[in-house]
Structure 1
Amino acid sequence: MNRIYGSCTGLLACLLLCTCAGQEPLSPDGLIRLGTRAGGYEGSATRASVNDLAGLAAVGDKVGVYGVVTTRTDALYAPLTSEWNGTPLMDNVRTTGIDAATGMLFWNGDYTYPLEENRRVKFCVYHPYAPVGTGGDNYVEAVAGQSPVLHFRLTGTEDVMWVRPVIGSRREAPSALLFEHKLTQLRFRLVDDEGEFAGVTVTGLAFNGVNTASTLNLETGELGGWSAAQAAVPLPLKSPAAISGTTEMPQVLAGEVMLQPGQPVFRLTLTTDSRGDYPGIEIRPSGGETVFAAGRSYMVTLKFRDRTAVALSAKVMPWVMDGYGEGIVE
């Protein structure tokens, strides 16, 4: 089983997590070792998306790794071309696990760096793993002369993550792996200051007309066009929630949804057990933002007044939940 070690490079607002790695001496056998090291994360255990090393370990068998041999000196910064035409050294290898304490990445089999000093390996890492194919909801498309492309379809519960490529060789240990969220996350809390909705329960919250299918270039991290609009993508509520929050103590709904980034507005329909449905709720970013950004988690406050549910405000925070600062959208 093989690993890679990484080194902590500081917090970036859009990053899921900084996989730390100390560059340890390469062993004479030239074995490829990739991994991460814990670094004081404080993720929320109630959220389904990956927010810390423990969360990454929970999906440790769903990470895909490509390792492509190249002699190009600019390979770290420029996309490969003809190198993709052959079979990669690591050809969409699926991890078998990630250790929650040490961050080690494991997979079946051994892979070694080329003996030649001018031949290095460029690693492209992504989540969720998908097999190479030509159709279905989730698959990797092999493209001649360029990076493979991940095709994926969302239900609202999936994380899509990508790592900026790193380079390694017998003389050069790979640098840190940095996982980035490629989607926008939305979470919700309720406020009923007037008590008009006492005894009313939220039974559902659905996003109307959102796209659910796209592609991800595994080397460049670029998302392709979006399609497959769905009439209603539900927020996966853990259970029906009685409306009881106030401005001072808002009620957080247990559940989050991950959707297409770059949207100026999301439209929602909220359903209740005794007050009917509330369609046409609109959420927009503010405070200088014009679209909902990738890699950000937005806390949206729904304020209830009389019979109208109003999107009052959105609080945005980096997806990394480790005590660093947060931005406010007002």
Structure 2
Amino acid sequence: MNDLAGLVAVGNNIGVYGVVTECADALHEMLVTEWNGTPLMNNVRTSGIDARTGMLFWDGNYTYPLEENRLVKFCVYHPYASIGTDTGNCMEVVAGKSPVLHFRLTGTEDVMWVHPVIGSRRYNPSVLLFEHKLTQLRFRLIDDEGEFTGVNITELVFNEVNTNSTLNLETGELGEWLASPDAVSFPLKSPVGISGTTDMPQILAGEVMLQPGQPVFRLTLKTDSRGDYPDIEIRPSGGETFFSAGRSYMVTLKFQNRTAMAFSAKVTPWVMDGYGEGMVE
């Protein structure tokens, strides 16, 4: 999957703010009084993204101000959230400041932000560059000794993770993180049999997105016939101290001597990202 294909898949779940300003350096300065009025594009939800050109589509027509000194600053984010006080995702409108996205992680939904761009009747805005704000984990299994043949993984549960935070649409800064009573699980659609070898690991379909900047994640692996394996610790290595935002870590779980153990974690490209190394203990 390439970058554009990843965006096309969520093309109808992107929010757009377009704020009129006369500030010539609005790209680098935070807007204040401009946020007090109703924006030209007021949290408009996209209807899709063109798979060939990357152009965003939405319902309705919007035009730039006629005055040449009036610009439009665009703030774009994902996932779209309506303005309100929903207990899940919602947009908070703050007088004199950028709107703030409140979100609750389920583990399956990404949070992305775009560095604001400027447009006017005289020139088009630059290309939107989406930035992942979370850490992604994927998993693969190795059972070289065949000790776990016939054993199924029923759930991978992340313990003591924070799930609630905020995103400032103008700065891209994440706010304070809060815990939630809801556990975050890797999205297994059904129990998965344990197999795979060092030469040909078994890849688990799917991924989970979590709070970035953490030194460790703790995992409980549940099986149908061998019980639970709690407190599997996943830590970054290769010079990294914390799990970074915008990176995807491939966690290898190795099973041997009737014991499940975390063996290694390698950073792999995300739909939109870099490389590195990690270690799972």
| TM superposition score category, shorter chain reference | over 0.9
Which residue does 1:152 correspond to in 2?
103
In structure 2, distance between residues paired with 1:72 and 1:310:
57
1:264–1:284 Cα contact (<8 Å) kept: yes
CA distance in 2, matches of 1:187, 1:317: 9
Mapping of 1:67-86 within 5 angstroms?
A: 67-86=18-37
Note the 1:94-173 alignment, pairs <5 A: 94-173=45-124
Contact 2:140-2:201 at 8 Å conserved across structures = yes
Task: In structure 2, give the amino acid aligned to 1:326.
Answer: Y
Aligned-partner Cα distance in 2 for 1:328–1:211: 24
Q: Does 1:246 align with 2:197?
A: yes
Alignment gaps of 5+ in structure 1? 1-42, 44-50
Q: Give the alignment of 1:269-308 within 5 angstroms.
A: 269-308=220-259
SS of the residue corresponding to residue 206 of structure 2 reads: strand
Tell me which amino acid in the other structure corresponds to 1:73: A
Structure 2 residue 278 is matched with structure 1 residue 329: yes
What corresponds to 1:234 in structure 2?
A: 185
Ranked by relative contact order (alpha carbons within 8 Å, sequence separation 6 or more), the top structure is 1
Structure 2 CA distance, aligned partners of 1:277 and 1:198?
16
What corresponds to 2:147 in structure 1?
A: 196
Q: Give the letter for the 1:327 counterpart.
A: G
Q: Number of matched residues?
A: 279
The residue type equivalent to 1:199 in the other structure is G
For the residue of structure 2 that corresponds to 1:255, the secondary structure is coil
Q: Is the 8 A contact 2:237 2:277 kept in 1?
A: no
Partner of residue 10, structure 2: 59
- Kept in 2: contact 1:166–1:177 (CA 8 A): yes
Give how far 1:325 is off. 6.8
| Aligned residues of 1:208 and 1:230 also touching (Cα < 8 A) | no
Deviation per residue, 1:245-266 (Å, 9 max, x gap):
1111111111211011111100
Whole-Å Cα distance in 2 between the matches of residues 229 and 284 of structure 1?
Answer: 22
SS at match of 2:276: coil
- 2-side partners of 1:268 and 1:319: how far apart? 21
Aligned residues of 1:189 and 1:300 also touching (Cα < 8 A):
yes
Change (3 A) 1:325 1:133: closer
Partner of 1:314: 265
User: How many Å apart are 1:154 and its aligned residue?
Assistant: 1.1
TM superposition score normalised by structure 1? 0.81
CA RMSD of aligned residues (A): 1.5
Q: Bigger shift: 204-213 or 229-238?
A: 229-238
Deviations 1:80-109 (A, max 9, x none): 111111111111111111122332211111
How far apart are residue 231 of structure 1 and its match? 6.1
State the percentage of identical aligned residues.
Answer: 77
SS in 1 for 2:129: strand
Q: 2:141 touches 2:254 (CA, 8 Å); kept in 1?
A: yes
1:105-159, Cα deviation, whole Å (9 max, x unpaired): 1111111111111110000000111111134211100001110000011111111
Farther off after superposition, 233-242 or 270-279: 233-242
Structure 2 residues without counterparts, runs of 5 or longer? none
- Structure 2 SS opposite 1:61: coil
Question: Which structure has greater strand proportion?
Answer: 2
- Give the letter aligned to residue 183 of structure 1: L
User: Structure 1 pair 281/329, CA: closer, same or farther in 2 (3 Å)?
Assistant: closer
1:238–1:255 Cα contact (<8 Å) kept? no
Deviation of 1:72 after TM superposition, in Å, equals 1.0
2:163 maps to 1:212: yes
Q: Residues of 1 paired with 2:21 and 2:181: CA distance?
A: 42
- Name the CA distance, whole Å, in 2 between partners of 1:316 and 1:271: 24
Residues in 1 aligned to 2:271 and 2:193: alpha-carbon distance in whole angstroms:
29
Question: Matches of 1:130 and 1:231 in 2, distance apart?
Answer: 20
State the shift of 1:241 in Å.
Answer: 1.6
TM-score normalised by L of structure 2:
0.95
Is the Cα–Cα contact under 8 Å of residues 186 and 257 in structure 1 kept in the other structure?
yes
Deviation >2 Å, runs of 4+: 228-232, 324-330
d(CA) in 1 for partners of 2:41, 2:160: 39
